[in-house]
């Protein structure tokens, strides 16, 4: 179906593009709409709202013309011409008074009886918490490395532009492109073709001869983003739809910022059929942060809560709460939420990786220690939950390699951490 939209509603076109079998034309001036309507082959439908500057009599003239040539007209008056809503209804037009682009798109879909396009094939996984420093970025890094070792192709999307922790972690150079520039170009550019040139593919995380998948990146900013580069929520949501339709990846890991009320990225991923991984250290403040996000998700996507997964993180030495105790508390309060298991603390490996000259994964620094073994277990559980079948088996270490690793002190602290039920 051919649809002309005359609207400045941000993100509307991106939302509409989710419908299959729909060709959208979005002229910015009313004269262009008139010209399209006067064509020998006019479109099937015209949607117009009052978000572009146009006088009401001019809008009426276009509506009348469209009806005369047999074009279906749908109007949404929610701003300056709201008063004309009754007239439009009296004229027998389907009408709406709504500013939310997702709702407008859903209404148009219903009115025009559009079928949804096939759901995005890509698994979208947001790493979320309602508190900083909980380990979101850390979890994103190790999950990405664990997943690629199973032959999966991972795209890591750094959406925490106010504190881009992935940039130092993966040693992303300042020459890497920033998707913020693409977002500024507007919704028409947020399809897979527009996004692809903004994906950064560092040599050190490419697929290798042993069959591992690669890790690619969508990077927003290299340091704290400037205020003028801030991303508004409808833009982020529109961009999300483009990312979800990218080809060449098995899943997208989204590192999200902690201000979940202003930037409800994990909520959106969940509502759009994605999953949320919540790193959960057992300390009182951390569990409160995890609980806040879970309460928020339960309120906004109650029927999708089973797509939330807790990733327990062993606490630092001295913290008295244990993962085992806290896991029971969470299971009682959020029975739909499952656990991916627990990651041991590996401060030595983390520090060695941080201090390393260039990028190196903690999994390469300690491939046979308890930390790597736990990551592989967690990744396996995650694949199971997402319904992904990894091409490569779970990496296993021989007893000799494990003993040797222990003698060398690889993850010595982690080895003393209590087991998790
Ligand atoms: N299992 C672990 N072993 C060793 N260090 C860890 C472990 N888990 C987390 N850390 C450390 O905890 C610190 C905080 O983690 P991280 O930066 O990932 O938090 P965050 O939730 O992304 O924070 P922010 O909201 O500020 O982005 C990091 O320095 C990380 O190295
Ligand atoms: Mg972070």
**Neighbour-count burial of 39, counting CB atoms closer than 10 A to its CB (0-12 exposed, 13-18 middle, 19+ buried):** exposed
User: Which residue lies with its CA nearest to atom 15 of ligand 1?
Assistant: 135
DSSP character at residue 342: E
Q: In this predicted model, what pLDDT tens digit does every residue of 41-93 receive, in sequence order?
A: 999 999 999 999 999 999 999 999 999 999 999 999 999 999 999 999 999 99
| Predicted confidence band of residue 121 (pLDDT cuts 50, 70, 90) | low
Whole-number pLDDT of residue 414: 42
What separation in Å is there between the alpha carbon of 157 and the centre of ligand 2? 12
Rounded (5°) CA angle 113-115-116: 135
Measure the CA–CA gap between 128 and 137, rounded to whole angstroms: 9
Q: What is the pLDDT averaged over residues 162-177?
A: 93
Measure the CA–CA gap between 350 and 342, rounded to whole angstroms: 16
Report whether pLDDT(120) > 80: no
| Predicted confidence band of residue 225 (pLDDT cuts 50, 70, 90) | low
Whole-number pLDDT of residue 55: 94
Atom number in ligand 1 closest to CA 132? 25
Measure the CA–CA gap between 217 and 122, rounded to whole angstroms: 15
Question: Which residues have any ligand 1 atom within 6 Å of their CB?
Answer: 129, 132-138, 160, 163, 165, 258, 313, 343, 345-347, 350
Measure the CA–CA gap between 232 and 308, rounded to whole angstroms: 25
Q: What is the pLDDT averaged over residues 114-128?
A: 80
Whole-number pLDDT of residue 30: 95
Whole-number pLDDT of residue 403: 84
Atom number in ligand 1 closest to CA 141? 18
Whole-number pLDDT of residue 367: 92
Question: 3-class DSSP state for residue 231?
Answer: coil
Q: In this predicted model, what pLDDT tens digit does every residue of 251-277 receive, in sequence order?
A: 999 999 999 999 999 999 999 999 999
What separation in Å is there between the alpha carbon of 27 and the centre of ligand 2? 40
**Neighbour-count burial of 121, counting CB atoms closer than 10 A to its CB (0-12 exposed, 13-18 middle, 19+ buried):** exposed
Full set of structural domains in the chain with CATH: 2-111 (3.40.50.2300), 123-415 (3.40.50.300)
The strand order across the sheet containing 2-6 reads 23-25, 2-6, 45-49, 72-76, 95-96
What separation in Å is there between the alpha carbon of 371 and the centre of ligand 1? 15
Whole-number pLDDT of residue 396: 87
Contacts of 90 (CB under 8 A, 6+ apart): none
Q: What is the pLDDT averaged over residues 370-396?
A: 95
Mutational pocket test of ligand 1: of 131, 137, 255, the residue with most ligand atoms within 8 Å of the beta carbon: 137
What separation in Å is there between the alpha carbon of 282 and the centre of ligand 2? 18
Of the two residues 190 and 398, the one the predictor is more confident about is 190
What separation in Å is there between the alpha carbon of 140 and the centre of ligand 1? 10
**Rounded mean pLDDT of the chain?**
91
Whole-number pLDDT of residue 406: 79
Question: 3-class DSSP state for residue 237?
Answer: helix
CB atoms within 10 A of CB 68: 9
Q: In this predicted model, what pLDDT tens digit does every residue of 389-420 receive, in sequence order?
A: 999 999 988 888 888 887 776 654 443 333 33
Identify whether the C-beta of residue 324 lies closer than 8 Å to the C-beta of residue 418. Answer: yes
Dihedrals phi, psi of 301, to nearest 5 degrees? -145, 60
What separation in Å is there between the alpha carbon of 160 and the centre of ligand 2? 7
pTM above 0.85, yes or no: no
**Neighbour-count burial of 374, counting CB atoms closer than 10 A to its CB (0-12 exposed, 13-18 middle, 19+ buried):** buried
Identify whether the C-beta of residue 180 lies closer than 8 Å to the C-beta of residue 173. Answer: no
Atom number in ligand 1 closest to CA 343? 1
């Amino acid at each position: 179906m051919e649809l002309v939209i005359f609207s400045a509603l941000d993100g509307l076109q991106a939302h509409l593009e989710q419908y299959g079998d729909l060709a959208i034309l979005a002229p910015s001036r009313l004269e262009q709409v008139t010209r399209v309507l006067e064509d020998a082959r006019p479109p099937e439908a015209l949607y117009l709202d009052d978000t572009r500057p146009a006088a009401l009599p001019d809008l009426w003239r276009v509506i009348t013309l469209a009806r005369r040539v047999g074009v279906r007209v749908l109007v949404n008056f929610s701003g300056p011409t709201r008063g004309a809503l009754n007239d439009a209804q009296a004229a027998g037009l389907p009408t709406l008074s709504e500013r939310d682009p997702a709702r407008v798109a859903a209404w148009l879909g219903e009115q025009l009886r559009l079928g949804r396009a096939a759901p995005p094939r890509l698994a979208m996984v947001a790493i979320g918490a309602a508190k900083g420093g909980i380990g979101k970025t850390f979890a994103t890094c190790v999950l990405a490395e664990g997943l690629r070792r199973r032959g999966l192709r991972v795209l890591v999307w750094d959406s925490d532009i106010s504190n881009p922790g992935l940039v130092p972690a993966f040693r992303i150079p300042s020459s890497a492109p920033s998707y913020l520039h693409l977002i500024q170009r507007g919704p028409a550019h947020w399809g897979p073709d527009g996004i692809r040139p903004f994906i950064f593919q560092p040599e050190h995380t490419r697929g290798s001869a042993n069959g591992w998948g690669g890790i690619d990146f969508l990077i927003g900013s290299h340091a704290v983003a400037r205020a003028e580069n801030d991303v508004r929520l409808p833009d982020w949501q529109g961009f999300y739809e483009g990312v979800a339709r990218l080809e060449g990846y098995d899943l997208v890991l989204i590192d999200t910022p902690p201000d979940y009320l202003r930037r409800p990225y994990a909520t959106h991923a969940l509502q759009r059929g994605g999953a949320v991984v919540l790193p959960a250290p057992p300390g009182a403040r951390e569990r409160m942060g995890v609980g806040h996000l879970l309460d928020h998700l339960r309120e906004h996507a109650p029927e999708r809560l089973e797509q939330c997964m807790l990733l327990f993180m062993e606490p630092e030495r001295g913290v008295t709460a244990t993962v085992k105790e806290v896991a029971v508390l969470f299971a009682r309060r959020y029975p739909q939420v499952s656990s991916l298991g627990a990651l041991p603390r590996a401060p030595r490996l983390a520090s060695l990786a941080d201090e390393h000259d260039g990028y190196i994964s903690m999994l390469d620094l300690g491939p046979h220690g308890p930390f790597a073994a736990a990551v592989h277990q967690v990744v396996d559980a995650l694949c199971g939950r997402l319904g992904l079948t990894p091409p490569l088996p779970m990496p296993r270490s021989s007893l000799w390699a494990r003993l040797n690793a222990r003698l060398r002190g690889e993850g010595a602290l982690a080895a003393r951490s209590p087991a998790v039920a």
